[in-house]
Structure 1
């Protein structure tokens, strides 16, 4: 059973606007994420309701997912819901005295995903615990890359 919430945070020496310009540009997701290699954006600039086609990779496995932007609060939060497993991925920006805290999260409402997703995680990704440990490590990697992009 998936964890209802996986999240990681990082402190970044930047403004909410600087971080927003990076995390809201979903076409750049392949630069940050070790798993989502490309997000194709449909319908112009990213906004509420924007749909994406995502190409994911883990070792020799390659698979597409579809998403819809469900939260879009400029300089604060962006989130998208994955159609295939109903999880919601988000970046939340919180201003601090010295910059911002950026939190990346994956929410599985009610601690559930689809039956197909659960089956694939179990059979192709080594089980839920191992996969979610990998997702958390990937979040830390993504946040580190975002931090470097903003601060450099």
Structure 2
């Protein structure tokens, strides 16, 4: 499994406007085709905040937990999944025309736990299918964020 999957999009809005949507993690299900629920634990979002998530892929429902490992307002947010240690992030870069390039990224540890690798192989059709679906989902997510922010 590669260490990184990544997708980017240019949005005609300031980093502050994009951040207002991206950092509201409860809204993730509006944008992500796989994430059905995100519940940050606590009153404010910051590095160290725990989240409980519910996801659905290929007909399977599965819960996950994660923790915010990077929180830089108007620049970046990243969270590490407890179950597999992958890190999902959004990075915001201002563009010359006053817009923002938004990048969603998934970084994978050197080796996944054996049980997760087995689940990917059996339930999700193998790594190639699983990762193609993730990249497709990243593009859908970014497209939906763009439409929301620009309108």
Q: TM-score range by the shorter chain?
A: over 0.9
After TM superposition, where is structure 1 displaced by more than 2 Å over at least 4 residues in a row? none
Q: Give the match's secondary structure for 1:109.
A: coil
Unaligned runs of at least 5 residues, structure 1: none
- Which residue is 1:90 aligned to? 89
Q: Deviations over 1:93-140 (max 9, x none)?
A: 001112110000000022x22222111111100000110011000000
What are the equivalent positions in structure 2 for 1:102-141 lying under 5 Å apart? 102-110=102-110, 112-141=111-140
- Which residue is 1:80 aligned to? 79
- Find out whether 1:53 has 2:47 as its counterpart: no
Separation in structure 1 between the aligned mates of residue 22 and residue 30 of structure 2, nearest angstrom: 11
Q: Is the 8 A contact 1:13 1:100 kept in 2?
A: yes
- Find out whether 1:17 has 2:25 as its counterpart: no
Q: Is the 8 A contact 1:86 1:114 kept in 2?
A: no
Separation in structure 2 between the aligned mates of residue 33 and residue 43 of structure 1, nearest angstrom: 22
- How many positions carry a matched residue from both structures? 150
Q: Deviations over 1:13-48 (max 9, x none)?
A: 000100001111111110110001110110112111
